[in-house]
Copies of this chain bind each other. A is one copy, B any other.
Amino acid sequence: MSVVAKAIELLGYFSKEMPEVGLSELCRMAKRDKATTYRHLSALEALGFIEQNRITKAYRIGPAVLPLAELRETTVPRREGALSPLKALADLTGETAHVAVLSGQSLHSLVSRESTAHSTRAVMDVRQLPLHATASGLCALAFGPTDLMDTAIVHLHPFTAQTATTQDAVAALTKLAQETGFAESKGSFESDIHSIAVPVFDHQGQLAGTVAVAGVANRMTPELEQKTRTGLVKASRDITRNWGGTIPSHIDVLWRKSLEADQQKELAP
């Protein structure tokens, strides 16, 4: 692992819940030596990526990230295009909706929207999503570049008892997603969270990212699941359009079939 990666990884330990973190705390979280962490922090501080609270000595994200984000937004305005479909999805389901983008071999959280319908809800505080353990990740494996699986199986970290930790198990989940058009994670990343994800595509019909709904498990009834699937498909269509992409026809077919099957089930009993 390069120093660059180690240093920048530290930025991942800051969150809305913990916007300021001290040196020792950060060492524990990153499981690194104090001197090392300190030098990494100092380097990031000199660059304005983090800054230090002069009183508490704790660190927080610095102002240097702002112009970079602005540049990214004006160059590739994906966030804006994802925002309003995501809001609609969160409102429809009453759960947390989020969009992640595929960059190289990894999946990054782009924007998330929490519903205010319930006091308990999923909070998206992870920036890089594990491919094998999240609905979004499995969705990327199912519909993204094939070599993504090679990266995924390097570290099959067991986040919960439900996490798929063998190549075969991950492959099976991926296959299921490819057959239905929906990727699912039932407590495989966080134990009480049940997620469903669908792919978003770029102008070449390649996977650009994923839209997902992360729901509190005990609220995820078959009815809500169906509503979620319908909402996800609409959100993916909207975001794909906003990003100037097109949904491959075979994906369209998959979704139509899955949604029709759901409706059948609803009419049957």
Contacts and interface: CB of A to CB of B under 8 A. Distances in A.
Interface of A: 2-5, 7-9, 11, 14-16, 19-20, 39-40, 43-49, 51-52, 60-76, 78-79, 101, 103-106, 108-111, 127-128
Identical copies in the complex: 2
- Most chain B CB within 10 A, of A62, A72, A76, is at A72
Contacts of A5: 43, 46-47
A60 B74 contact: no
Nearest to A151: B46
A110 to B, nearest CB: 6
A108 B67 CA distance: 9
A68 B65 contact: yes
B64 A128 contact: yes
A67 B69 CA distance: 9
28 contacts: A2-B3, A3-B3, A4-B7, A4-B44, A5-B43, A5-B46, A8-B49, A9-B47, A19-B71, A19-B74, A45-B103, A46-B106, A47-B128, A48-B104, A48-B106, A51-B104, A60-B76, A61-B71, A62-B104, A62-B108, A63-B76, A63-B108, A63-B110, A64-B128, A65-B72, A66-B79, A66-B110, A67-B108
